[in-house]
Amino acid sequence: MLNLKEAHKITLLDMHGKAVTEEQFMALPGSFNIDKHKNADGTIDMVLRRNDPNEKPKLAAAPVVLKVGDTLPTFALKGLDGQVVNSKSLRGRYSVLSFYFAECGPCIHEVPQLNALAKAHPDMGFLALTFDSMGDAKAFVQQRKLGWPVLAEADTYIKSLKVKSYPLLLVVGPDAKVVAVRSGLNDNAPQILAWVDGVLAKTK
C-alpha cells in the first residue's frame, strides 16, 4: 500500500522506533513522519516512523517548521508545463498547499478529497508540491487524476520548510500567513473539505 519504489532504501519504524514490515506498518494507526536523503545517484533513502496516536501534540514531532501565524516563505518553482509559479500568485485569496510524493500511499489515498476540495472552492488557490522529478510528477497526475497544479523538483524549498510528515496540507491566508496545518492521513479525521470549511469559518 505504501507503493514505494524498490530502488529506494526504505526503513519502516513503529511509534517506538522498532523496525516493522510494510504490512505491520500499514496496520498501525495514526500519521507518520518521514526523513529522506537524496543520494548522489538520484535515489532516495527514507525512514518512515509512525506517530503515537495517543501522544499529546506537544510531544509529537512538528510536521513542518511553519506554525500558524507564520508567513509562508517565498518561492519560484516550475510547474509541469515548464512555467514558473511563484508565491505571489497566492496573494489576495485563501490557498491550500499540499506536500506529497508519488510513492506515498496515504498521499494517493487523499487525491479524491483534494479534487473535491478544489471543485467546491473555485475561488481559492491550490498548489501541490513534491520533490519528485518532472517525469514522476506528470505520471502521478495522469495515473492518479490529481486536478491540482503541481510544482515538481521542489526539494530545496521543501527542505527549507523541514517537512517531516506526508501528506501535509497548509491553509494560507490572503496575506500569505499560515492559518492551519494538517499532517498525515487519519481515518478518524474530518474529510479535507470539511476541515478546510471549518478553518475558513473560523478565520474569515
C-alpha cell at 152: 515538481
C-alpha cell at 154: 521542489
| Three-point CA angle 40, 84, 68, nearest 5° | 85
Instruction: Identify whether the C-beta of residue 12 lies closer than 8 Å to the C-beta of residue 27.
Output: no
Task: Give the number of C-alpha atoms closer than 13 A to the C-alpha of residue 125, restricted to the C-beta side.
Answer: 20
The pLDDT, as a whole number, for residue 76 is: 96
User: What are the mean pLDDT values of the chain's consecutive 10-residue runs (204 residues total)?
Assistant: 55 86 83 69 75 57 84 96 94 96 88 97 97 94 96 94 90 96 76 94 86
The pLDDT, as a whole number, for residue 77 is: 96
- Considering the entire predicted model, what is its pTM? 0.73
**Strand pairing partners for 38?**
44
Instruction: Identify whether the C-beta of residue 131 lies closer than 8 Å to the C-beta of residue 150.
Output: no
Instruction: Identify whether the C-beta of residue 184 lies closer than 8 Å to the C-beta of residue 30.
Output: yes
165/120 Cα distance (integer angstroms) = 26
